Amino acid sequence: MSLLSLLQTRGPRALIRPLTQEDRPALEVMIARDPVGYLFAAEQLELWGLPNARQLAPYRRQQGFLGIFEADETPESQGTGSRLVGALWLGANCLPLDLPAAYYRQVARYILRQKRQVGSIFGPQAQVLGLWEKISGRMPSPFDLRPSQPLLALTSYEQLASLAARPLDRPQLKLPQVLPVRWAQPADGPSLLPASVAMFTEEVGYDPMIRDPRGYSQRLDQLLGSGRSLLALNREGVVVFKVDLGLVAGQDCQLQGVWLHPAYRGQKLAVPLLAQALQLISQRYRRISLYVNNYNQPARALYARCGFEQVGTYASILF
């Protein structure tokens, strides 16, 4: 029996196996059907590619792209006998791609057999919640379930110039005034770390420097080293505003970690600061997206004001 056969798991009607280089064209077609929703998958494919079938090893815990295949006896199958109908990224996080509802249970069994501890299951709402329905109760209880997160894309750039040109000075504010947004540099790390920790704690619900200080610091260093963070300082060098490019693939990016210092909130600074950041980002990337919790009305209003429109709905299950 081949190594690839050892890694295959047959269900009643589908075959689940690791994707290999030969499957890349079909996976790229799948990602291209939803380039905003599947940007995480596009980045992982760009970073890591797919293994050669002969390089697969029968180790116990698989990580990477898995494919869901159905039998295909049509002439178009060119003798392969199967066609890719869905996929899954399974690593530190889990992202379903075009996962057919008929195979949620089978995919859930596959994930459980891997005994992999994932930090989250996230992605298109119907797929995430459908998969979670079949797997919940057999995994550790999540500390947060976010069933509805609008997925937004920047569709209008016309207003950015005028919004970004709004003055940042607030004479009535008894705090140091704010400087324009710029790309962060590695030297900004010591100033940016407290702001990033505050953002993460506020958004996710726990202090990352308690759970995984080394991993979180390394992630920040990676963002700074690759030019994927922007910030605005006040005149005393304190970070007032920040945003990261959490995902990047080709000419597409997804924003994460949008944050404004609490002391500066309520001063109508969020719109011009975000607009300045978007102007800078749009010089490098043609498509900008993000997702937001549906209950966060101030954030949704901010993004709408800057030209974002909803293009889908995500769900996230956080462990």
Q: Which domains does the chain have, with CATH numbers?
A: 3-141 (3.40.630), 151-313 (3.40.630.30)
What pLDDT does 170 receive?
Answer: 94
Cα-Cα-Cα-Cα torsion 74, 77, 82, 83, nearest 10 degrees, comes to -110
Contact 256, 244 (CB under 8 A): yes
Contact 234, 188 (CB under 8 A): no
Residues 6+ apart with CB under 8 A from 22: 53
What pLDDT does 77 receive?
Answer: 52
| C-alpha separations of 244 from 68, 121, 231, 254 in Å | 33, 21, 9, 8
User: Of 87, 73, 114, 99, nearest to 23 (Cα)?
Assistant: 87
Q: How many CA atoms lie within 13 A of 191 on its CB side?
A: 20
3-state secondary structure of 49: coil
Contact 259, 242 (CB under 8 A): yes
Residue ranges of E strands in 91-207: 93-97, 120-124, 144-154, 182-183
For residues 182 and 192, what is the distance between their CA atoms, to the nearest angstrom?
A: 13
Where do the H-state alpha helices sit in 7-72? 24-32, 39-48
Cross-strand pairs, 259: 242
CB atoms within 10 A of CB 31: 20
Q: How far is CA 151 from the centre of its chain?
A: 11
- Average pLDDT along the chain, 319 residues, taken 10 residues at a time: 46 83 97 97 96 69 85 62 94 96 95 88 98 92 95 96 97 95 97 95 91 92 96 97 98 97 97 98 97 96 98 97
pTM beyond 0.95: no
What pLDDT does 11 receive?
Answer: 44
For residues 308 and 299, what is the distance between their CA atoms, to the nearest angstrom?
A: 11
